[in-house]
Chain A
Amino acid sequence: MSEPSDTAGYNFAYLDEQTKRMIRRAILKAVAIPGYQVPFGGREMPMPHGWGTGGIQVTASIIGRDDTLKVIDQGADDTTNAVSIRSFFAKTTGVATTARTEEASVIQTRHRFPEKPLRADQILVFQVPIPEPLRWLEPRESETRKMHALGEYGIMHVRLYEDIALLGRIATAYDYPVRVNDRYIMRPSPIPKFDNPKLDNNPALLLFGAGREKRIYAVPPFTKVKSLDFDDHPFEVQTWDHACTLCGARDSFLDEIVTDDLGTRMYACSDTDYCADRREAAPQTVDASEAAE
């Protein structure tokens, strides 16, 4: 717990109550219209854009004294970004924090979806750099809003077409666009497309906050989320020829890590909590030859 002098004069979770109410109203609207980007009056936060200010404002607005918070960046709880945000909330709310997915009631994440299945009493908050999926081909906001309103989504497939035509397959590997509830096209934030299937019909509430562009959107529990594709080039997730060097998992998203100047690589789970649990449950080491392949 923090010294009272540090946080004196600050409200619970940093934001004032009126701001939280405004953001909660935006969240409610986002939940009511799955995948629709709701504008909100984003506040300046005590850290730069790009550090997750959108996600932080969402978390600050929903977090209560009984919550347990987990913060991950690229799947890891111990990276600078995750540590900073976690300590920010510890300081401004005093809530319990955890690295264990199953213990958390609120999980703020950057660029990953946890490997362990989520429950209906959990909320996952994504940090979103660019919320607009149509932006890459249509720079005018007035036009993209109209395209969303009228469901004119042809150009999303143009992008996938270009991938197949130029590279032989859909090469988009992160922030892979999805259609939510058969209606709005949504960017799932820069999670690997490996995580896209977890968005579909998930029991947890998924909230997305974009600080710079001041947008909030949501995927309510048990909502259909479909990754865009072609009939003859169906959506596929990444696969690896390797297992995790540390825990032997073959079903999780692996980071490739160069371990020396000779280019030796190892593969390890990007979700550190998942990896740690597996090692604890069944200590094992993978054949060193496989790691060095």
Chain B
Amino acid sequence: MTSDRPLLNVQNVSHYYGDRAGCLDVSVDLWPGEIIGIVGESGSGKTTLLNCLSARLQPTAGRIFYDQRHRGLVDLYALSEAERRFLIRTDWGMVHQNPRDGLRLGVTAGANIGERLMAVGERHYGQIRDKALDWLGRVEIDTARIDDLPQTFSGGMQQRLQIARNLVTGPRLVFMDEPTGGLDVSVQARLLDLLRGLVTRLHLSVVLVTHDLAVVRLLAHRLMVMQRGRVVESGLTDQVLDDPQHRYTQLLVSSVLQA
């Protein structure tokens, strides 16, 4: 965390669905190499905020700036759609809760990883294949499975394949929506460890949406707690979880079942 300017600068972002506010007046900076967690119950606005931040849902009000490589700060929603989509598939990644949303289940694992490379103009089959093999290894999937369909993979493997598919183009910012949701606890742990290692090694910035406080404690540097569209508390993850100030955060933390 040595850069002197944030990668993502969010200013007073609100999004309304008709009269109802999805998220309200959210401001936050995300720094290079930083993982920020967004927690809250279903309907708290965390997914709406994630969609706004990841350039998939235009905010009703507020602005979002991104520090683009070779270009500096750009207003996300002032970019042309072509530029925005290019940014999304090269410099960004998106890991979905449901692999169905983040993978092409009808093509092989290798093609899933290779797609982003081909999308940015890689035209050498052998090199694409080598990179796919390398990334399968990095996410701890047996490289012999490169020509298998993701449908034949376990839930944990599918998530790891999603991660490989996203990271192969060397993005700087990855959005994750409940990446460990729906996985067995033992599989979750391995995925968390993998994510943590990759994030440190690649100096990735991550926006992580989850309702699982244990997940953010292990992964996120910083935390935002959302309730009814607003960020009611934010700060260092361990500080927010161990010494919550807001009524709602205290309720959230005290409601966690202890194993």
A positions within 8 Å CB-CB of B:
137, 146, 149-150, 152-155, 157-158, 161-162, 164-166, 230-233
Contact = CB atoms under 8 A, between A and B. Distances in A.
Contact of B147 (A149, A166, A232, A233): A166
A230 B82 CA distance: 25
B110 A161 contact: yes
A129 to B, nearest CB: 21
B126 A158 contact: no
Contacts of B106: 137
Contact of B118 (A150, A161, A166, A233): A161
B111 A150 contact: no
Given A154-B116, A154-B118, A154-B119, A161 B111 contact: yes
B98 interface: no
Tell me the interface secondary structure of chain A in the complex: helix
20 contacts: A137-B106, A137-B107, A149-B82, A150-B81, A150-B82, A152-B85, A154-B89, A154-B115, A154-B116, A154-B120, A157-B118, A158-B104, A158-B107, A158-B115, A161-B125, A162-B107, A162-B111, A165-B129, A165-B147, A231-B124
A158 B126 CA distance: 13
B123 A230 contact: yes
A20 B70 CA distance: 51
Contact of B123 (A149, A152, A231): A231
Tell me the interface secondary structure of chain B in the complex: helix
A165 to B, nearest CB: 5
Given A150-B86, A158-B115, A161-B128, 20 more contacts: A137-B104, A152-B85, A153-B119, A154-B115, A154-B116, A154-B119, A155-B115, A155-B118, A155-B119, A158-B114, A158-B118, A161-B111, A162-B108, A162-B111, A165-B110, A165-B146, A166-B147, A230-B124, A231-B125, A232-B126
Contacts of A231: 123-125
A88 B116 CA distance: 49
A161 B115 CA distance: 9
Interface in B105-163: 106-108, 110-111, 114-116, 118-120, 123-126, 128-129, 146-147
| Among all A-B residue pairs, the 8 with the closest Cβ atoms | A154-B119, A157-B118, A230-B125, A154-B118, A231-B124, A150-B82, A158-B111, A161-B111
Nearest to B115: A158
A152 B104 contact: no
A143 to B, nearest CB: 11
B125 A164 contact: yes
Contacts of B119: 152-155
Contacts of A232: 124-126
Nearest to B114: A161
A164 B123 CA distance: 13
Nearest to B126: A232
Interface string B78-90: 0001100110010
B124 A150 contact: no
Contacts of B81: 146, 150
A231 B127 CA distance: 10
A233 B126 CA distance: 9
Nearest to B120: A154
A22 B119 CA distance: 36
Contacts of B147: 165-166
A233 B115 contact: no
Contacts of A164: 125
A153 B89 CA distance: 12
A230 B164 CA distance: 22
Nearest to A230: B125
A149 B80 CA distance: 12
A231 B82 CA distance: 26
A149 B123 CA distance: 21
Nearest to A233: B125
Contacts of A137: 104, 106-107
Nearest to B129: A165
Contacts of B125: 161, 164, 230-233
